[in-house]
Amino acid sequence: MSGASQVRCVLRARALNGESPVWDERSGRLFWVCLREPALHAFDPRTGEDTAWKMPAWIGCFGLTPTGAVVALRTGLFEFTLSDGSLRFLAPAPFDSRRFVFNDGGVDRQGRFWAGPMYEPLEPGDASDAPRALPFWRYDGAGKWHPGTAPVQTANSMTWSPDGRTMYHGDTSQKTIWASDYDTETGTPSNFRVFARITEGTGPDGATVDRDGFVWCAIHGAGKVVRFDPSGRVEREVRMPVQYPTMPTFGGERLRTVFVTSANHTLSEEERRQRPEEGNLFAFEAPVPGIPRADFRPPGT
């Protein structure tokens, strides 16, 4: 699989920063976010309808729940209810929200929510000499976050192996994805090692795994999605019709379709007019299915 002809556009979203696609088997919809809109979206591939819920602040990632989602906004972690569009505050962000935002994250196989940072200072900028990298955190409930990795500047590529015993996380700025042993009882990663180094484009963006434990990762700025085997070797590349794919996920019937979000915020207005595919939502068929996702479960439940 290497040609863009195998990839189809399923939604002309033209998103500034489409990210974090998650398939909801209950409704048969693909939830995703536009970080900079900011909004949570739900796309129905059967009808082509896309529903958006505007958020009051930058939304980096989320985890689905039976009634909606837990959403990581610049201002903190909130429970979002789909039926009435309400937000309930859960925890403050574990960082200075004038300097950082949440970026990549997700729910492990046991229902724990993880989220990582991105250095994105508000205007007029950041004149401090404070560190510009922070760890990925695990939400431990009661307003508490637990740091779980070494500091990263642009958190990405967070996903788990099918058995949940290997955690992957990356830093786009370091062009690296790491693997670690993951204690499924405590949610604690250990034995960190380099899984893959990305030499093309900006670096690794969002990632997911398939049933066979292969890692699929969008390579931001390089116009492709790469499938790595469990040892970190490139098994195949899927060329995308856009330069800035952001994250793949599995969905559709039997989880055999890979949906890929993309972004256009790095382009000028003229470039966006000339390249209207950038920021759209794409899909292609996978050789093996994905893994059913887990709902976020509040700690202690």
Give catalytic residues, as residue numbers.
Answer: 205
Confirm if 260 and 248 have CB atoms less than 8 A apart: yes
**In the structure encoding, which two tokens stand for residue 58, read together?**
């930058």
Annotated binding site: 19, 103, 156, 205
Residues in Cβ contact with 128 at an 8 Å cutoff, skipping those fewer than 6 apart: 99
Confirm if 227 and 236 have CB atoms less than 8 A apart: yes
Sheet containing 59-64: order of strands: 59-64, 68-73, 76-81, 86-91
**In the structure encoding, which two tokens stand for residue 269, read together?**
């207005």
CA trace torsion 201, 202, 207, 211 (10° rounding) = 20
Query: Cα(40)–Cα(47) distance, rounded to whole angstroms?
Result: 18
Query: Cα(102)–Cα(85) distance, rounded to whole angstroms?
Result: 21
Neighbouring C-alpha atoms within 13 Å toward the C-beta of 71: 34
Which residues face 105 on adjacent strands? Answer: 115
Annotated binding site for substrate: 103
Which residues face 137 on adjacent strands? Answer: 115, 147
Q: What is the DSSP letter of 122?
A: P
Annotated binding site for a divalent metal cation: 19, 156, 205
